[in-house]
Amino acid sequence: MDNTRVALREGLRQVLNQSDQTTIWLNGPAGVGKTSIAFTVAEGMKAAKRLAATFFCSHRHTESISAIIPTIAYQLALAFPCIRDDIMRAIEIDGLLLSDANFRVEQMRELIIKPLRMLRLRRKTSYAIIIDALDECFSAEEAAGLANLFTDNLSRSGLPVIHLLFTSRPEARICTAMQVPIYEILLTTEDENTVQDVRFFLRTSLDTIRRSRPVVFSQQSGPWPSSHAFEALTSRAAGLFVYAATAINFISAPGHHPQQRLDLLLRSDSAVGENMDQIYRQIIEASENPYVHCRMLVFIIRLFRPLPLVQLQKLFVGDEQNLAMMLEAFSPMFLNPRDGSGNIEIYHDSLRGFMISLQRSKEYYVDDTLVHEELACRCLDLLMREENVTEGAFLYALHHWDFHLSMTGRRLNSKLRNLLALLTKGTMQRLVALEQRDLAVRFCCSLHRANARSSVSVLIVRKAVNNPQNG
């Protein structure tokens, strides 16, 4: 929102305009709005044509640590076409440069530092690389190592001025790893500016709800909500933007009267630290079928990576209605593109923590082993049904069924054993017949990793790969 975090954004703007390379560390607890600030800064730098690259980890994409440097190098090639050939040449010379096994130090040198040295001769403007939620993508040790790698290399002489902006929770190891002087911004829920910004966000959003629902509020003569209700909601937010945003999504949900939803939020007593759990429980309890919807919610949370709606519908065939009703009932907790083209993702990672904790979600908890067993079955079933082997849902199932299988941590149940027995020969023959040998090999490797095949199925696989016509 334009009128929030004004002083903070102005301070960041001044730092990013400096001619000396600066490392900025924006840190604070979950839910205080670090990602929103990073995104706003990225938009501003992009508009000024000064954004070199971004890596947003915070929307739960499952990224390996090996992806970050190639991803940033790719964005550098787009931002600065004059160094694109340098980056491509480095990859052509060393075919293993992008492999997971390659050292990040070598990737940094060949894909980022050397090309940027060439850029130094032609560019005088300062730029920014933004890496958001570093601690959510990687372990504390990996995050600290990456912070050190970037700060150490990009602060050296002979390079264009590229400021670094990291966001994370206040992890001591990340701070220690940054060996250069840093510009630190600590966000807390007690900070007066943060509290006032959350208050402003709530006031503006509630006013928007009232203006957008004139018929609903036609009998409302006084201010809405009452000053008492507004102060109570602000107090519950306790400086957390994630609470405020989720609350507004809940109150403004179509098909419900905003006052009734607000009353529901304010009805229960909870300590400040429990407010996010409380709002999640209230959203769940307001749905018509909370247990079925929670089961579907956990399936979405436990996917290896997010999927768009059309692919989820193929994966959860037979449960399309439950999926649709869950997404509607739990819409305050989801990022769900209206046009259906983007991935469906949970709004904030605190929901994941809530749902996978028996102590927090209580009666709505779904056992993790059962979740991954069901997801493995869904994947295997899809591999047998889907005719288009290059379709997104099929590729998800092919690449990740063994991951879900490995997460069960126990022997295969009878349903999984039967699916594997039915699947192996037909899928292998279909992939090979369609000249999708890479996918066939990938499937074969998955079987080996899962350690879930008999000697007979191994013979079937070999026969299908070597002689598909006679399989």
Tens-digit pLDDT string for the chain (471 aa): 666 788 888 899 999 999 889 999 999 888 888 988 999 999 999 999 999 999 987 544 445 567 889 999 999 999 999 999 999 999 899 877 877 655 688 999 999 999 999 886 555 789 999 999 888 777 788 888 999 999 999 998 889 999 999 999 888 888 888 877 899 998 888 888 888 999 999 999 999 999 999 999 998 888 999 999 999 999 999 888 989 999 999 999 888 899 999 998 888 665 444 678 888 999 999 899 999 999 999 999 999 999 999 999 999 999 999 999 999 999 999 888 776 678 998 888 889 989 999 999 999 999 999 999 999 999 988 988 877 777 889 889 988 888 898 888 766 677 777 777 666 555 555 555 544 555 555 555 555 555 444 333 443 344 444 454 444
Spatial separation of the C-alpha atoms in residues 341 and 159, rounded to whole Å? 39
In one letter, which amino acid is 135?
D
- SS3 of residue 255 by DSSP: coil
pLDDT of residue 188: 87
Query: And the tokens for 153?
Result: 């290399």
The closest alpha carbon to 431, from 377, 395, 393, belongs to 395
Domain 290-366 has CATH 1.10.20: no
For residue 73, give every residue at least 6 positions away whose Cβ sits within 8 Å of its Cβ, in sequence order, or none: 87, 107, 111, 112, 115
Spatial separation of the C-alpha atoms in residues 373 and 376, rounded to whole Å? 5
Spatial separation of the C-alpha atoms in residues 141 and 253, rounded to whole Å? 41
- SS3 of residue 322 by DSSP: helix
- Residue at token pair 């999984």: 416
**In 6-139, where does DSSP find H-type helix?**
6-16, 34-47, 68-79, 84-93, 104-107, 114-120, 134-137
For 106, 156, 226, the CA distances from 103, given in Å and listed in that order, are 5, 20, 59
Residues 308/342, Cβ–Cβ less than 8 Å: yes
pLDDT of residue 164: 96
Residues 143/174, Cβ–Cβ less than 8 Å: yes
Q: What is the pLDDT of residues 82-137, one digit of tens each?
A: 999 999 999 899 877 877 655 688 999 999 999 999 886 555 789 999 999 888 77
Query: And the tokens for 418?
Result: 């039967």
Q: β-strands 182-186, 334-335: how paired?
A: unpaired
CATH architecture of the domain with residue range 6-186? 3-Layer(aba) Sandwich (3.40)
Helix (H) or strand (E) holding 164: strand 162-168
pLDDT of residue 457: 42
Residues 110/142, Cβ–Cβ less than 8 Å: no
Residues 416/401, Cβ–Cβ less than 8 Å: no
Spatial separation of the C-alpha atoms in residues 421 and 414, rounded to whole Å? 11
pLDDT of residue 459: 38
For the entire predicted model, the pTM comes to: 0.68
